[in-house]
Structure 1
Amino acid sequence: MINVIGLGYIGLPTALMLAANGNEVVGTDILQKTVENLQQGKLTFEEKNLDTLFKKAVDNGIQFSTNYQETDMYIITVPTPYDLKTKKIDPSYVIEAVKTTVQNAKNNSIIVVESTVSPGTHDKFVKPIIHDAQKILGKTLHLVHAPERILPGNMVYELEHNSRTIGADDIEAANKVKKLYETFCKGEIVVTDIRSAEMSKVIENTFRDVNIAFANELAKIASYNDMDVYEIIRIANKHPRVNILNPGPGVGGHCISVDPWFLVGDFPELTKLIKISRDINDSMPTYVLKKIHDIMKEKQISDISRVGLYGLTYKPNVDDVRESPTLQLLEKQREHLAPELKVFDPYISKKIAENQYFNFEEFLKDIDLVVIMVAHEHIKQNKELLNEKVIFDTQNIFENSEKVYKL
């Protein structure tokens, strides 16, 4: 039996995928409400095709509990935030999960950590727990790092089709985990050591962060010189060895906006480019806010309450608001003690911000300037409703439009 620890954005789809493919699974979470919802057949977040996977997993007997199980295979998927001051990883969730796991584990158990961690985290924090448990409890325990590699909005597909990395010091344990993942993973599964697995996952997201920072810097240059950054990038990307990502109002989510800080925190003198890239991307909500005020001045809009932000999530077509650029922008606005901007997001049904609307037409009725922060399909399908509005499109959904303000 496999005990998946942590039933959030990574743990729940992983547990469901394992169960749906014939594995005996118990999903564990410390949040009673999360477990109760799942036991009652209620998903805790929206995700494409997750409901179908949930039904199949339930039909195959998946169980949900607040208790760690006594078994020989654990998959830990708890959060790994970073310290805002030091930029170093906060490993406390992983540490607590591993400590509890070793108390319940059978002899010869395998503990798989899927949580993304900074290079050396297992050596510094996890292995000592394993070693102490082996001495005190007399158990043989095996540690494996298999960093998750899925994208919100396409989790189910990517769980099946993305390649995976299995990092372990014990090749026999690595092969057992590989065999388990092969029950659902159609992508290549690479076996390596733990430190290489740690580093490879962090640099995947760091690479994208640096690329986005380059695009955002290009957007600022293009805006200053009255050029179209999207046209420039489109043409540049026709070169066979160039692949510039799109600029945007900021970088959110719990991967690209977080993982690079692990490297900056641990190697401050060696991460100049990564640090500058993080600073550029973190500056974008402030840059957007400044442009909002410039547009208001140009269009003679004097009342900031007549400005509305479309989109609260960190990316299109999901309900995930972690590290959301819109929420960052609103925080910058509050720092200046300015009135709150109006906000609307079709994917957010609970109140998480002041002046938040839940009806799109009412939202539009009360604003003159709409700032498109997220490129949800909803806004693409309702472009015509914005015809009478001043539009600041940070996502380039209004292509080739001279009437629309861009980054």
Structure 2
Amino acid sequence: MINVIGLGYIGLPTALMMAAHGVEVIGTDYNKELVNTLNAGKTTFKEEGMDRLFDQAVDGGIKFSTEYQVTDIYIISVPTPYDEFSKKVDTKYVKAAVKSVMEVCTKGAIVVIESTIAPGTIDKHVRPIVEANGFTIGEDLNLVHAPERIIPGNMVYELLNNNRTIGADDIVIGEKIKELYGSFCQGEIVVTDIRTAEMTKVVENTFRDINIAYANELAKICRSDDMDVYEIIKIANMHPRVNILTPGPGVGGHCISVDPWFLVGDYPGLANIVLAARKINDSMPEFVLERMHEIMKDTGMTDVSRVGLYGLAYKENVDDMRESPTLQILNSMDKHLSGNLVKVYDPYIKKDVVPNQLHDLDDFLNSIDFVVLLVGHNEIKESMYKLKGKVVLDTRHICELEGTYGL
């Protein structure tokens, strides 16, 4: 039996996928309401293919509990935020989970940490806890790092098809966990040492963050000298070895916007490009606010209540608002506009989370004259005709209406 600890955006799909492929799974989370929802037969967030996967997992016998289980394999998938001051990974949730496992596990149990962690985290923070509690690593308890590689919006597909990395002290233990993930993963699974696995995951997300930062910095440069950044990127990408991304309003989610800080925090003075990229991407919500202010001035608009922000999620077609650029914009809006007056709408966010949030697209558009497109949901892509006659700031480069403003 596998005990999956943490049933959030990563742990739940992982538990469901294993159960759907014949593995006996019990998912554990301290959140009683979440566990009760799952036991009632409902998923806790929207994701393409999740409902079907959930049904398959239930048919496969998956169970959900607030209690840690007595078993020989644990998969820990709890949050790993970073400290805003030191920029180092905050390991409190991982350490708490490991401590709880040691209270119930059998001798020789394998603890797999799926949570993304900074290089050296297991050596610095996990091993000392295990040893301080009287466990001998390699005999009483084995440690493995198997970083997740999925993204909201395409979780089910990526769980099945993405390559995976397994980091272990012992190659035999690594191969055993590889076999477990191989029950559903059709991608290549590489077994390596723990620190390499830790570093690899952080490097992957940092690479993406740097690429995004380059596109965003180009947008700022081009805006300063009245050049079309989208046309420039389009032409530059005609070169066979160039692939510049599209600029956007900022970087959200719990991976790209967080993981690079682990390197900045652990390697001060060395992670210079990484730090510069983080600063550029974190500055984009403020840049969007500046563009809004410029456009309102150019069009003679003064009524802030007729301004609308489309999208609260951090990316298209998901209900995940973690580190959302829109939320960052709203938090900073008092510098230029009144954040309590602008209208906000997202078809995936059903509950009221911000002031003046509407829940119908037509009601939203009828209440505004100036719309800022912050997320490229399919809904708005299919409804562009409804934006005719409005002032549009398109931060995602999805609107082809004449007169649309870009970054």
TM category, shorter: over 0.9
State the distance in 2 between where 1:250 and 1:106 align: 45
Instruction: Work out the percentage of aligned pairs sharing the same amino acid.
Output: 61
User: 1:371 matched to which residue of 2?
Assistant: 372
Query: Which AA in structure 1 matches 2:387?
Result: L
State the distance in 2 between where 1:137 and 1:343 align: 52
User: 1:79 matched to which residue of 2?
Assistant: 79
Would the aligned equivalents of 1:133 and 1:139 in 2 still touch at CA under 8 Å?
Answer: no
State the distance in 2 between where 1:336 and 1:86 align: 30
SS at match of 2:112: strand
Query: Which AA in structure 2 matches 1:381?
Result: E
State the distance in 2 between where 1:202 and 1:335 align: 34
Deviations 1:211-262 (A, max 9, x none): 1010001111122222221221122222222221111000000000000001
Would the aligned equivalents of 1:394 and 1:406 in 2 still touch at CA under 8 Å?
Answer: yes
SS at match of 1:90: coil
Query: Which AA in structure 2 matches 1:16?
Result: L
User: 1:242 matched to which residue of 2?
Assistant: 242
State the distance in 2 between where 1:339 and 1:161 align: 42
Would the aligned equivalents of 1:106 and 1:139 in 2 still touch at CA under 8 Å?
Answer: no
Would the aligned equivalents of 1:72 and 1:110 in 2 still touch at CA under 8 Å?
Answer: yes
Deviations 1:308-352 (A, max 9, x none): 000000000000000000000000014668342210000000011
TM-score, length-scaled by structure 2: 0.97
Deviations 1:180-232 (A, max 9, x none): 01100000000111000000100101001011010001111122222221221
Please state how far the C-alpha of 1:108 moved relative to its aligned partner.
0.9
User: 1:288 matched to which residue of 2?
Assistant: 288
Q: 1:158 to 1:137 in 2, by over 3 A?
A: closer
State the distance in 2 between where 1:182 and 1:273 align: 36
SS at match of 2:178: helix
Matches within 5 A, 1:92-107: 92-107=92-107
Q: Is 1:326 aligned to 2:326, yes or no?
A: yes
SS at match of 1:165: strand
SS at match of 2:144: strand
RMSD over equivalenced CA pairs, Å: 1.5
User: 1:57 matched to which residue of 2?
Assistant: 57
Would the aligned equivalents of 1:87 and 1:262 in 2 still touch at CA under 8 Å?
Answer: yes
Please state how far the C-alpha of 1:172 moved relative to its aligned partner.
1.0
User: 1:380 matched to which residue of 2?
Assistant: 381
State the distance in 1 between where 2:339 and 2:284 align: 20
Query: Which AA in structure 1 matches 2:398?
Result: I
SS at match of 1:3: strand
Matches within 5 A, 1:8-407: 8-135=8-135, 140-334=140-334, 338-340=338-340, 341-399=342-400, 401-407=401-407
Would the aligned equivalents of 1:112 and 1:145 in 2 still touch at CA under 8 Å?
Answer: yes
SS at match of 2:351: coil
Q: 1:172 to 1:133 in 2, by over 3 A?
A: farther
Gaps of 5+ in 2: none
Gaps of 5+ in 1: none
Query: Which AA in structure 1 matches 2:50?
Result: L
SS at match of 2:103: helix
Please state how far the C-alpha of 1:291 moved relative to its aligned partner.
0.6
SS at match of 1:104: coil
Q: 1:138 to 1:52 in 2, by over 3 A?
A: closer
Q: 1:339 to 1:252 in 2, by over 3 A?
A: closer
Please state how far the C-alpha of 1:139 moved relative to its aligned partner.
6.0
Query: Which AA in structure 1 matches 2:157?
Result: Y
Deviations 1:43-92 (A, max 9, x none): 10000000000000001100000000000000000000001111111100
Q: 1:304 to 1:331 in 2, by over 3 A?
A: same
Query: Which AA in structure 2 matches 1:387?
Result: K
State the distance in 2 between where 1:169 and 1:139 align: 12
State the distance in 2 between where 1:7 and 1:68 align: 13
Q: 1:256 to 1:357 in 2, by over 3 A?
A: same
TM-score, length-scaled by structure 1: 0.97
SS at match of 1:251: coil
Q: After the TM superposition, which of the residue ranges 330-339 and 189-198 deviates more from structure 2?
A: 330-339
Q: 1:64 to 1:14 in 2, by over 3 A?
A: same
